Amino acid sequence: MGYERNIMGMTIEELGELMMKYGQPAYRAKQIFERIHAGDAMSLDEITNIPASLKEKLRAEGIDVFPVNILERLESKLDGTKKYIFGLHDGNVIESVLMEYKHGYSICISSQVGCRMGCTFCASTLDGRIRNLDAGEMLGQIYAIKKKEGIKVHSIVVMGCGEPMDNFDNLVRFLNLIIHPMGMNLSGRNITVSTCGITEKIRELADMKFALTLAISLHSPTDELRRTFMPIANKYTIEELMKAADYFFEKTGRRVTFEYSLIKGLNDTKECAMELSRLLAGKNSHVNLIPVNPIKERKWERSSDNSVNAFKLMLEKNRINATIRRGMGADIDAACGQLRRRYLGSERPE
Ligand code: SF4
């Protein structure tokens, strides 16, 4: 099942065709689209401006607004970050995060149930990829949080469970819907898409000229080290990745962010900082340093504050833009995939 059954993931043109099929006037497509994407309808019942007989016919054919229901909501006592566990129509569960920054609210969503990329510092991949989310299920996470909290969303980050580029068609559909003027009308500048580095998809996205922020999970300045904890590094070299990043910048004019999770004794050394500086010298880029959140299934430890600061200083000395990502929600299973695993461990549906 996918967008051809989930009304939340349909474009206005597809809704138009659907309405024609059911003998409905063309304006119904606009009514439905607006109620879902600019209103707060999360189910067919909540689209109150279309006839009940039409809803019955749609349901009879398995066409519906697929549920993305909040099953659990956790709030950090440290910084107010909120985490949500959502239940999907097939019993799968996913997680999202709401963070409040000075400039407004930001939501980090999942793009897949699980992930098959196998990064060894990540809890999302421990059971592999279960399935892709359709575009409606990606949007549903945002709409459900927005509705629950009564907030205006400033930015979206596709950096939760899953590799967005491994679910490319749904990602593109999602992006087109979230920037739609009749929907949330979000600017590309307020959207970040993360990838562990599937280079041909980076190029494809660049060709589509979405002026968004691309965040590449680099985590190591050398192929040799990267291969020890990111299996994707066996497929694409850092050189290929850098060429794809340059291509993205050329096509979109958007500075690429490199995510760098600092793991104690592994990639947080002075030598790594020097190597990273050489790699990024002269590039219009930004490094986001992330003191890694420990996960109990893996052996990695978080770098000390001293090492994190020294790493950043070294980059800055070499004229590389770098920031340290503020740890958010550390008291509520902060690492991506942890909360979902805890939920499944205690309450896995039969
Ligand atoms: S870090 Fe991202 S790409 Fe790597 S396993 Fe986790 S979710 Fe997948």
Q: Give catalytic status of residue 95 as yes or no.
A: yes
Which pLDDT value is given to residue 335?
A: 59
Q: What is the mean pLDDT of residues 230-244?
A: 97
Q: Residue 32 is encoded by which pair of tokens?
A: 């439905």
Question: Which residue's CA lies nearest to atom 6 of ligand 1?
Answer: 122
Which pLDDT value is given to residue 333?
A: 64
Q: State the helix-helix crossing angle for 168-178 and 135-149, rounded to 10 degrees.
A: 40
Q: Residue 306 is encoded by which pair of tokens?
A: 């001293």
Report DSSP letters for 131-165, one per residue: EEPPHHHHHHHHHHHHHHHT--EEEEEE-SSS-GG
Report DSSP letters for 3-72, one per residue: TTTBGGG--HHHHHHHHHHTT--THHHHHHHHHHHTS---SGGG-TTS-HHHHHHHHHTT-B----EEEE
The fold adopted by the segment(s) 69-347 is TIM Barrel (3.20.20)
pTM: predicted TM-score of the whole model, two decimal places = 0.93
The verdict on domain 7-60 having CATH code 1.10.3470 is no
Same fold, 7-60 and 69-347: no
Q: State the helix-helix crossing angle for 27-37 and 135-149, rounded to 10 degrees.
A: 60
Q: Give the range among 103-112, 133-142, 161-170, 293-302 with minimum mean pLDDT.
A: 293-302
Active-site entry in 13, 17, 336, 347: 336
Q: Residue 268 is encoded by which pair of tokens?
A: 């947080």
CA angle 146, 123, 89 (to 5 degrees): 50
Q: How does pLDDT run across 152-187, given as a tens digit for each residue?
A: 999 999 999 999 999 999 999 999 999 999 999 999
Query: How far apart are the CA of 293 and the centre of ligand 1, in A?
Result: 14
What are the extents of the domains in the chain? Answer: 7-60, 69-347
Pocket test for ligand 1, best of 111, 112, 117 (most atoms within 8 A of CB): 117
Distance CA 163, CA 167 (A): 7
Q: Say if residue 317's pLDDT is above 70.
A: yes
Question: Which residue's CA lies nearest to atom 3 of ligand 1?
Answer: 163
Q: Say if residue 198's pLDDT is above 70.
A: yes
Which pLDDT value is given to residue 291?
A: 86
Pocket test for ligand 1, best of 110, 116, 119, 201 (most atoms within 8 A of CB): 119
Q: Which atom of ligand 1 is nearest to the CA of 115?
A: 8
The answer to whether 174 touches 132, Cβ cutoff 8 Å, is no
Q: Say if residue 349's pLDDT is above 60.
A: no
Query: How far apart are the CA of 21 and the centre of ligand 1, in A?
Result: 41
Q: Which atom of ligand 1 is nearest to the CA of 122?
A: 6
Query: How far apart are the CA of 115 and the centre of ligand 1, in A?
Result: 6
Q: How does pLDDT run across 92-106, given as a tens digit for each residue?
A: 999 999 999 999 999
- 244 CB within 6 A, ligand 1: no
Q: Say if residue 219's pLDDT is above 70.
A: yes
Distance CA 130, CA 172 (A): 20
> Looking up tokens 């597809």, which residue turns up?
14
Which pLDDT value is given to residue 350?
A: 36
Q: How does pLDDT run across 270-297, given as a tens digit for each residue?
A: 999 999 999 999 999 999 999 877 666 6
Provide the pLDDT confidence category of residue 346 given band limits of 50, 70 and 90.
low
Q: What single-letter DSSP state applies at residue 232?
A: G
Which pLDDT value is given to residue 170?
A: 98
- 162 CB within 6 A, ligand 1: yes
Q: Give catalytic status of residue 34 as yes or no.
A: no
